[in-house]
Amino acid sequence: MTVMEQRGAYKPAPPPAWQPRTDPEPLLPDAEPYRVLGTEAAAKADPELLRRLYAQLVRGRRYNTQATALTKQGRLAVYPSSTGQEACEVAAALALEDRDWLFPSYRDTLAVVARGVDPVEALTLLRGDWHTGYDPYEHRVAPLSTPLATQLPHAVGLAHAARLKGDDVVALALVGDGGTSEGDFHEALNFAAVWQAPVVFLVQNNGFAISVPLAKQTAAPSLAHKAVGYGMPGRLVDGNDAAAVHEVLSDAVRRARTGGGPTLVEAVTYRIDAHTNADDATRYRGDAEVQAWRDHDPIQLLERELTGRGLLDEAAVQAARDDAEAMAADLRERMNRDPELDPMDLFAHVYAEPTPQLREQRALLRAELEAEQEGGHR
């Protein structure tokens, strides 16, 4: 057939590979963060759940102030406070079943504790007597992850493995707004969607990555808008509204558990304290902004809702505070004891069996320590 003979034969057609795939519409987040407290939706919330959330928030706030105090007393090397973000931390822990897994980022000690890990063991990393202080398998909590976003593919892999084994286990992974810029965030979400892994990603958008504000981190309409690019739903929620975060996460966990695949949740919140006790936030942000967020405090929001609807009396408030004080006193007391350290532990866990090289080095250290004990070396 010559080109002339072909004349007029051409019929437009979309490229063969093009098939209408996933409908993007349901994957897009709402225009505004979802809220429960102070809205119609609050009436439908389980009062018992709200009271549990409340008690945990109060406890969480106290935990943050106590841990920060411990840095001043030299009992912690450093503490990244989650004050202002307690609703996210607590709701993340409470949205999971026992058999599920939590993958915290370095700021999420509070979520780890809310999940049941001993508060002192949760602080081992930050006290500096070891790295991870708790047994990850005891409460199914992965180690606090310092390299940002690297824990996200772990969560995907674990969730995928559970599914392959036929267990209806869900993994919930936490990451910051800054962490969403890392390549590992992208790769994790993509694997999760392709594998339809039962995993939920919670981005705590607290406005800052150390000093860098969100506007320098992303130009996206919202971080939740990233979800559609992976083919998973993106949800936007008021991160200071514990009831809303809990509901959105619980929905996502349920969806994941029943084979519906992963969800990306962006919780809009604010880091009230500096990045850590070592940081000076006045270098990069003003008081007014912080004050505006103090007025949107997660504890107050929930307290007002509960008291407004007669679901919380002063006695209950006091009980929550007393419980928090007791936790803080216990924490203070136990953290004030020096941890017991054995330098020989350095060699105990590098490999299942120390290599010949490590055995040599271990012998060297042992000899040094013995010489030290025998009253001073050189």
Ligand X SMILES: Cc1ncc(C[n+]2csc(CCOP(=O)(O)OP(=O)(O)O)c2C)c(N)n1
> Annotated catalytic residue: which of 154, 160, 255, 275?
275
If one asks whether residue 315 binds its own copies (CB under 8 A), the answer comes out as: no
Q: In angstroms, rounded to a whole number, what is the distance separating the alpha carbons of residues 92 and 86?
A: 10
The reply to whether 309 belongs to the active site is no
Could you say which of 86, 89, 100, 177 contacts ligand X (CB under 6 A)? 177
63 included as an active-site residue: no
Check binding of 210 to ligand X (CB under 6 A).
yes
Query: Which residues 18-37 are close enough to bind ligand X by CB under 6 A?
Result: none
3-state secondary structure 309-357: CCCCCHHHHHHHHHHHHHHHHHHHHHHCCCCCCCHHHHHCCCCCCCCHH
Question: Is 151 in contact with 173 (CB distance < 8 Å)?
Answer: yes
- Mask 183-212, x = binds another protein (CB under 8 A)? xx-xxx-xx--x--------------xxxx
Cβ partners under 8 Å of residue 51, min gap 6 = 306, 311, 312, 316
Q: Residue 307, interface with another protein (CB under 8 A)?
A: no
Size of the site for another protein (CB under 8 A): 75
Residues 133-162 interacting with ligand X (rule: CB under 6 A): 146-148
Computed over its alpha carbons, how large is the radius of gyration of the chain? 25
The only residue of 158, 265, 268, 328 in contact with another protein, by rule CB under 8 A: 158
The question of whether 275 is a catalytic residue gets the answer yes
Q: Which residues of 308-344 are buried (b: 16+ CB within 10 A; e: fewer)?
A: eeeebeeeebeebeeebeebbeebeeebeeeeeeeee
CB-based contact 224:248 (threshold 8 Å): no
Query: Of the candidates 8, 21, 137, 315, which one interacts with another protein according to CB under 8 A?
Result: 137
Of 52, 304, 332, 362, the one binding its own copies (CB under 8 A) is: 304
Task: Find the binding residues for its own copies in span 20-39 (CB under 8 A).
Answer: 20-24, 27-28, 31-33, 35, 37-39
107 binds, among ligand X, another protein, its own copies, none (CB under 5 to 8 A by kind): ligand X
Q: State which residue, 66 or 205, has the beta carbon closest to ligand X.
A: 205
Question: Both tokens of residue 194?
Answer: 């392709």
99 near another protein, rule: CB under 8 A: no
| CB-CB contact of 266 with 235 (8 Å) | yes
- Residues involved in catalysis: 271, 275, 284
